[in-house]
Structure 1
């Protein structure tokens, strides 16, 4: 009996050793896969003469995504098409993007991601500006206004939007720095994400249609070219000549269409509109003419440093803050979903809990800054730049830091922002048809986790997508329908019930957590694997060379035991709850 027990013990030990070796082998294999084919990893520092062109590449990618936002925002603010301040708003967005990106990459989650304006905030912004007190006066009345009166007209609305953005972002900052993100994601399931994100694109279809309808031929051609470059010609290599010491001139190639499909499309269609303008094929005053907003460029100052409160200090209302929370929640979930993807792309280990907490906290801080600066928007991780890392195989943190500096410099050059406002409306409309569609598809991609054969799930998906479109559109067409006698309450309810992503997200979350269903049916098992926020319960401090450590001050943090209790510090250790 004793001999049998001893043999079993030896067999168990041998099996454990085998399992341990297998786990180590799998871990080493995974690490090798993470670093495979990467040109510059997250901690690598390319030489400056390579870093700057790589950084400019990220900058151009960001511009392609951010330039469309003011085309929807500024008309809702009652701003004239020829107002030079439209270029100033773009410059402010770029400037704040540079500041927040540098903070995020250096002290936040420390992943090579770009933070900037997002379309997710446009839905609640439009809901707020649809309130009776914020609707634009009729055109005749606006034309009779003086220049100062028109400036005050849009700045008053900008102050309302800025206050709502800045205060609502405090929620994001708090859940990040307190480590509440993990608990929040327990109720934010895939069936919550689908309507929240998808309705961003679906709600804005009207704006895409109105802009594209100014010249359908140009709009459809823009959509066609963007599809051709980004999908059909994505693997076509573009040749160029380089000179190398001791090797002379050589012909190399790079993925031009893969890297810059949006910028190529804008450049070609903008040039076509210029030809149609010079030849007078487009009549005077047509929105597709390249000189339609020439005054924006000529009246803009060359240099201008954006500053907090440049349009007046933000005002705060309960209706605006609660409505804007929908955009904050959508951006939080979207950013978290990017973190493990970016980490894998740049050859880094999976982001630990403290890095995720800190990343969301810094994103909240960035949105507060965006509100105070008056950009009319918040900040979020740019999916386009995440894709650029996968394409270029350059995941260096230093490259994104250089890109942030370029953004800050370009944000000061006000003429540069004004140039993008001159893009013809039909070209922007064609881009909208693709971009809003992609946002909708990104939200629908969360359906991969759930069982689509389940009638329960299909019911939740259907009602959480369709009902908000019906209710919110009706609310927007009847802005004064809620009349409780309390003006602030009326405004609050009107904004909440007019914000599709809030109504849809809350409906999806409520139904998914109340209607009975198995974890596998609801997609929670696959979702938890994808969005794991767990950390080892070991109390040992990680080595100083950790990828996600702060660049300075780690020795001081490790000497203080209390730092292991703060969920946003690299020394944080998650403890088992009894």
Structure 2
């Protein structure tokens, strides 16, 4: 039978296949874009950066997200986990970095980031040996908590982005959010093949078009952005190495490694790829290298983005090809801020609708992993109940520990970390360390 797509692309695909992979890559980019730019926006605002500094910060952040993702995709004997994972700035680093910048100066921010990246590379081999600490009981619980703790973020965006805003939850915002969700559901249920796999992208585009008709699309970010920007090492000056700041960022790096471990196991479960010590070690090394580069080019620490896990599950496309395109797009957008700003015109309610579906899929993936757990063992039920309770409860009311020292609050205020630690500790107490075969049934 004749094929009309005979020309081959740069990776041996036909032009049609390359086009499909590129569109899927764009979908992944849009899924993580808001989360990626949130970190530089929050930190830059917290440190009172001017507009020129903010432009650099956002552009280099997007550029380095692409570089960091490529490091994970490129598998060799030293680094790269080879999963369809997208790396973005770790949101848990925002408050500590603002605190370091305010107390010690911007140089201390990047000195501590570089040092923490070196730490991650050095301990990657040791950290990779803890796979037995993450049976389905633990990883399923953590992935479920990741999805559930992110859903309120999506809901807030559905209402307009800021719950205290007078326009929050108005009819227009709700219409945009629910139309986006409705489009995703319709495409996912009734569409076939490739169109079904880009349901989220169709929802975001459709929601944005409706928003434009209603006059809710702001083109100002495109007009204000420059045409070209090139990464510059040590843009904000020479890094300084303050011991207390370095220790603080090492703690944040450990938190990010725990979160990334959950992302790796979730993607391994979705794609059917075995994740052992070697894969984890190379994954951590890639993240460590990305963090070091982030410090040199004055951006921030990186971790696996869980929203893209939900997108892999929802689209059903489990190869790395679309992620390669997403990484290349991120690099290009980092060099062309005006083009990259186009993604910023997607209204908050539209993003919120898409994020709600994706975060819900992350939680469902965790529940799917929990289906492997032996529920005849009442202790397992208790481990899941307490871990999810701690993860969601402490995340919702972080002020519960406001009388505790800052170091303690850094852990207790992060529901994902508390859920991880609780599940690991209780599993060790009740079940002990099992063999890999036993672990897969736990």
TM-score range, shorter chain: 0.7 to 0.9
Structure number with larger C-alpha Rg: 1
**SS of structure 2 residue aligned to 1:432:** helix
Query: What is the alpha-carbon distance in structure 2 between the residues aligned to residue 186 and residue 402 of structure 1?
Result: 34
Partners of 2:181 and 2:433 lie apart in 1 by 40
Give RMSD over aligned pairs.
4.3
3-state DSSP of counterpart to 1:436: helix
Structure 1 residues 527-542: aligned runs within 5 Å: 527-528=439-440
Aligned equivalents of 1:95, 1:298: Cα separation in 2 = 20
1:266 corresponds to which residue? 204
Q: Which residue of 2 aligns with 1:100?
A: 68
Among residues 499, 510, 513, which one is paired with 2:414 in the alignment? Answer: 499
Alpha-carbon separation, structure 2, partners of 1:378 and 1:105:
14
Report the counterpart of residue 165 of structure 2 in structure 1. none
Structure-to-structure mapping, 1:197-212, within 5 angstroms: 197-212=143-158
**Which of 406, 423, 430 is the matching residue for 1:508?**
423
The equivalent of 1:438 in structure 2 is 361
The answer as to 2:277 corresponding to 1:362 is no
Contact 1:339 / 1:351 at 8 angstroms: preserved in 2? yes
Give the deviation of 1:495 after TM superposition: 1.2
Which of 255, 259, 269 aligns to 1:330? It is 259
Once residues 370 and 326 of structure 1 are traced to their aligned partners in structure 2, the CA distance between those partners, rounded to angstroms, is: 17
Aligned to 1:450: 373
8 Å contact from structure 2 (residues 266, 365) kept in 1: no
Q: CA deviation at 1:196?
A: 3.2
Deviation of residue 64 (structure 1)? 2.1
Cα deviation digits, residues 95-127 of structure 1 (max 9, x gap): 2233234444444377764543358x32x2356
1:113–1:419 Cα change, 3 Å? same
The CA distance in 2 between the partners of 1:466 and 1:93, in whole Å, is 34
Q: Answer with 454-463 or 197-206: which moved more.
A: 197-206
Does structure 2 conserve the Cα–Cα contact (< 8 Å) formed by 1:72 and 1:207? no
Question: With structure 2 as the length reference, what TM-score do the two structures score?
Answer: 0.75
Change (3 A) 1:89 1:518: closer
Task: Assess if the C-alpha contact under 8 Å between 1:190 and 1:450 holds in 2.
Answer: yes
* 1:74–1:400 Cα change, 3 Å: closer
How many residues are matched? 416
Superposition deviation, residue 290 in structure 1: 1.7
Q: How does 1:399-548 map to 2 (within 5 A)?
A: 404-476=327-399, 479=402, 481-482=403-404, 490-516=405-431, 525=437, 527-528=439-440
| Aligned pair partner of 1:173 in 75, 96, 121 | 121
Q: How far does residue 428 in structure 1 lie from its aligned partner after superposition?
A: 2.4
- State the Cα deviation string for residues 43-82 of structure 1 (Å, max 9, x = none): x9425745642442243122122122056435643639x9
Question: Given the alignment, which residue of 93, 104, 112 partners 1:125?
Answer: 93
Name the counterpart of 2:6: none
Mapped partners of 2:278, 2:433: distance in 1: 30
Q: Does 1:383 align with 2:309?
A: yes
Which residue matches 2:163?
none
What is the aligned counterpart of 2:231 among 306, 309, 332? 306
> Judging changes above 3 Å, is the alpha-carbon distance between structure 1 residues 457 and 477 closer, same or farther for their aligned structure 2 residues?
closer
Between the aligned partners of 1:441 and 1:84, the Cα distance in structure 2 is 42
Give the C-alpha shift of residue 236 in structure 1: 4.6
Equivalent residue in structure 2 for 1:60, among 7, 17, 26 = 26
Cα deviation per residue 1:330-381 (whole Å; 9 max; x = unaligned)?
Answer: 213422453475476xxxxx78865554344223323443454444451427
Question: Per the alignment, in what secondary structure is the counterpart of residue 186 of structure 1?
Answer: helix
1:453-491 alpha-carbon deviations (Å, 9 max, x no partner) = 432112111111213444455444774x23xxxxxxx43
- TM-aligned CA distance change 1:111 to 1:434, over 3 Å: same
Q: Which runs of 5+ in 1 are unaligned?
A: 1-43, 135-151, 239-253, 278-288, 345-349, 483-489, 531-578
Mark the CA change 1:355 to 1:507 in structure 2 (over 3 Å): closer, same or farther: closer
1:447: how far off? 0.9
Residues in 2 aligned to 1:261 and 1:89: alpha-carbon distance in whole angstroms: 31
Greater share of helix residues, 1 or 2?
Answer: 2
Correspondence for 1:563 = none
Cα 1:373–1:99, aligned 2, differ >3 Å: closer, same or farther?
same
Distance 1:443 1:83, change over 3 A: farther
Q: Which residue of 2 aligns with 1:36?
A: none
* Larger mean Cα displacement after TM superposition, 220-229 or 433-442: 220-229
> Partners of 1:457 and 1:194 in 2: how far apart?
12
Q: Distance in 2 between matches of 1:351 and 1:525?
A: 14
CA distance in 1, matches of 2:131, 2:119: 15
Q: Cα distance 1:127–1:96, how it changes in 2: closer, same or farther (>3 A)?
A: closer
Q: Distance in 1 between matches of 2:416 and 2:52?
A: 32
- TM-score after normalising by structure 1: 0.60
